[in-house]
Structure 1
Amino acid sequence: MTLLDETMGMLFIGVLIAGILYGVSCTQVYFYFSRYSRDPMYMKLLVLGVWVSDTIHQALISHSLYWYLVTNYGQPATLALLAPTIIIEVVIQAVTGLLVQCFFAARVYRLSGQNWYLTVPVGLLIAVEFAVSTAYTARALKFASFAELTEVKALSISINAFAAAGDVCIAIILCTILQTSKTGFQRSTRLINKLMIFSLNTGLLTSICACLSLITILALPDTFVYIVFFFIIGRLYSNSFMATLNARKGLHDGSSSGDASLSLQNMHPTANSANISRQNGTHIAIQIDTTKDSQRDHELEESESAYKGNTKRHMV
């Protein structure tokens, strides 16, 4: 690759992918307001806040691309300079991450039975990531060229490290809580397994993206390859957040035939039940009728035994 491919080419790819994911996010926001009009106002404001920060971020990185490739077209010297918007976007993306991660941290707090020992470490990781992003932006705005960014390289690395750590921590805690809530019944176990996969996926992509950004900034420091991954972290946050909200009706409808209603709220691990009830359609939780579940499992076992008995008689 030429120098231009490694820098402006990577910037172009990052903005392009971020734009595609922004379109997906806008579609999810429209879908949310169309189907969940009864959600409480604070949830609607949170969705609106995430969408606004996402929109501002997309506008900033698009302006950066325009500034380099159109406004200063034919002036190679300007490619080494820092467009102000390419620095400001860092803190705006941090706002998107802060809103989304706080939502998932609140879920950890509810599902863990208000366990501060689990919630506080998650909250600290989220707060430190936002603080580091703000510090990076404040310092980098004083620089004029990309070469000067080496002075804040440690902060750049820390942003990605704390982002990945926070997402992984949230995913592990949620999966652990769901695992300890299993009743041993087939239907409830299948439903909880689906929720575990769903919870894992909400933080998996952002964690991978943050790790890739961290790896490329260390392995390829003179290129903008890391920018490709960094630009789309915010989009992955907003899309995972909206996917979580928009999946509620699908999960609930899919579980209604099994006498289980979905939510992930106010669920506390117990020995005999997975306690997840659907309240106001705002969060995701499970209420599983263990009596009916046990009866179905017993009937299933009897059917299997009868089938095996008939098979043996036919073989004789």
Structure 2
Amino acid sequence: MGEYDTNVGPILLGIFLNTYLYGLVTNQYMNYVNHKFNDPAWIRTIVIILFVLDTTHSAAGIYAAWNLCVTNFNNPHILRTVDWTIPFTAIAVATSGVVTQVFLIYRVFKLTKKKWLLVFLATLSIGGYVCGWIAAVKSGIIKEVSKFRQIVPLVIGWLALLCIVDLLITAILTFVLVRSKTGFRRTDTIINRLIRGAIQTGLFASMFALGDLFSFVFAPRTTFYAMFAYPIGRIYTNTLLGTLNARMVFHRMDQQNSSGGTGVRLIPVHIHTARVLLTEDCAAMADDRPVPHADVHPPDVS
């Protein structure tokens, strides 16, 4: 395996995967805009900020590929340094991660009503965000790949906290959903689907964060870290948009079940005010409208 295989190849693979995931983000964003949810301004602002950030970062990735493979085709020395796209990638990932995590942490708080849990998770998430920003700024100042050992502690702190918060959010949401089971087959089928989505989403993001971490620490002479770093931000944005857009799916399922006259409401599951759920491939949030009267209500989990 040559030097280009371990330095150029991983960057291109990361950019290719990032571009694919950006297509999914764009589709999710258009679905959100077209459905015209009655969300508060702060949620709409978050969605716009993340979409603009993802668009900018994806464009930066295309530029990085061009700069590496075209502009500097005959310049192997380019592999010894990093340009502005690598620090910007760290900033984009850190920002997407903290915004999505804080949003989900808020939903965890709405479920559990535990302020200490809100403060604990938010502190970990923001701590990782700060480490990510500092690592990004220092990498832009250092530039030389051979000197990146200086920022290893910051990268470890950032990606480790990113992974820990993801897993904690997944575990808490899974625990609450398991406790919300009602014994009614149709409702429990939906809850099981939500649990699978919570686990899959948390593990997916955590695997990429760990891949980025291990590659940076144990393969410092390669760019395998970039193969994981580029797509992470898109994973978080897809998670948040999936959380919001899944209300369409569950609302349709709710209407279909109601029209069938079963007398049991599938959605929203009665967890406090039924405002937080997970979808089949990300996290899903049920409608924020009040829960209408149903013949059977699943037990509260307060």
TM-score range, shorter chain: 0.7 to 0.9
Deviation at residue 190 of structure 1 after TM alignment: 2.4
Counterpart of 1:164 in structure 2 is 163
For residue 262 of structure 1, what is the amino acid of its counterpart?
A: I
Question: Does the residue aligned with 1:247 lie in a helix, a strand or coil?
Answer: helix
Q: Tell me the percent identity.
A: 26
User: Residues 198 and 262 (structure 1 numbering): CA distance in 2 closer, same or farther, change over 3 Å?
Assistant: farther
Moved more, 21-30 or 137-146: 137-146
**C-alpha distance 227-77 of structure 1, shift in aligned 2 (>3 A):** same
| Aligned partner letter, 1:237 | Y
User: How many residues are treated as equivalent by the alignment?
Assistant: 283
| 1:75 paired residue number | 75
Contact 2:11 2:226 in 1 (8 A): yes
Q: CA 1:37 to 1:110, structure 2 compared with 1: closer, same or farther past 3 Å?
A: closer
How far does residue 276 in structure 1 lie from its aligned partner after superposition? 2.1
Write the deviation string for residues 231-277 of structure 1: whole angstroms up to 9, x where unpaired.
Answer: 1111111112112211111122223315325357x833xxxxxx526
Deviations 1:141-178 (A, max 9, x none): 21131111111112122222111111101011111112
* Superposed CA offset, 1:197-243 (max 9, x none): 23333322111111222233344232111210111111111112112
Confirm or deny: 8 A CA contact 2:93 2:229 kept in the other structure: no
State how far apart, in whole Å, the 1-side matches of 2:65 and 2:27 are: 24
Q: Shift of the alpha carbon at 1:78?
A: 2.1
Deviation of the 1:91 alpha carbon: 1.1
What secondary structure sits across from 1:142 in the alignment?
helix
Contact map agreement 1:185 1:290 (CA 8 A) in 2: no
Letter in 2 for 1:91: I
- Residue in structure 2 matched with residue 4 of structure 1 by the alignment: 4
Counterpart code for 1:284: A
Q: Distance in 1 between matches of 2:147 and 2:126?
A: 26
**Alpha-carbon distance in 1 for matches of 2:5, 2:275:** 53
Matches within 5 A, 1:95-244: 95-112=95-112, 114-244=113-243
Matches of 1:289 and 1:50, distance apart in 2: 36
SS at match of 1:223: coil
Aligned equivalents of 1:92, 1:32: Cα separation in 2: 22
Q: Distance in 2 between matches of 1:51 and 1:132?
A: 23
CA distance in 1, matches of 2:212, 2:271: 35
Q: 1:306: which partner in 2?
A: none
Runs of 4 or more, structure 1, over 6 Å off, are: none
After superposition, where does 1:16-35 map in structure 2 within 5 Å? 16-35=16-35
Q: Could you tell me which residue of structure 2 aligns to residue 262 of structure 1?
A: 267
Consecutive unaligned residues in structure 1, runs of 5 or more: 269-274, 295-316
Within the alignment, does 1:13 sit opposite 2:16 as a pair? no
Per-residue displacement from partner, 1:118-142 (whole Å, max 9, x unpaired)? 2222111211110100110122221
Q: Which residue number corresponds to residue 66 of structure 2?
A: 66
Letter in 2 for 1:121: F
Residues 174 and 292 (structure 1), Cα distance of their counterparts in 2 relative to 1, 3 Å cut: closer
User: Contact (CA 8 Å) 2:80, 2:144: kept in 1 or not?
Assistant: yes
Kindly report the root-mean-square deviation, in angstroms, between the aligned alpha carbons of the 2 structures.
Answer: 2.5
Q: Is the 8 A contact 2:254 2:266 kept in 1?
A: yes
Give the alignment's TM-score, normalised by structure 2.
Answer: 0.85
Partner Cα separation in structure 1 for residue 233 and residue 8 of structure 2: 20
- Output aligned runs, 1:32-71, within 5 Å: 32-71=32-71
The aligned residue for residue 92 of structure 2 is: 92
Instruction: Please say which of residues 191-200 and 25-34 is displaced more in the overlay.
Output: 191-200
Q: Which residue of 2 aligns with 1:276?
A: 274
> Is the 1:171–1:199 contact (alpha carbons within 8 Å) kept by the matching residues of 2?
yes
Q: Relative to structure 1, is the Cα distance of residues 2 and 277 closer, same or farther in structure 2, using a 3 angstrom cutoff?
A: closer
CA separation in 1, counterparts of 2:213 and 2:292? Answer: 42
Q: If the length of structure 1 is used for normalisation, what is the TM-score?
A: 0.81
Structure 2: 5+ residue stretches without partners: 277-283
Give the Cα–Cα distance (whole angstroms) in 2 for the partners of residues 187 and 78 of structure 1: 58
Q: Distance in 2 between matches of 1:199 and 1:150?
A: 35
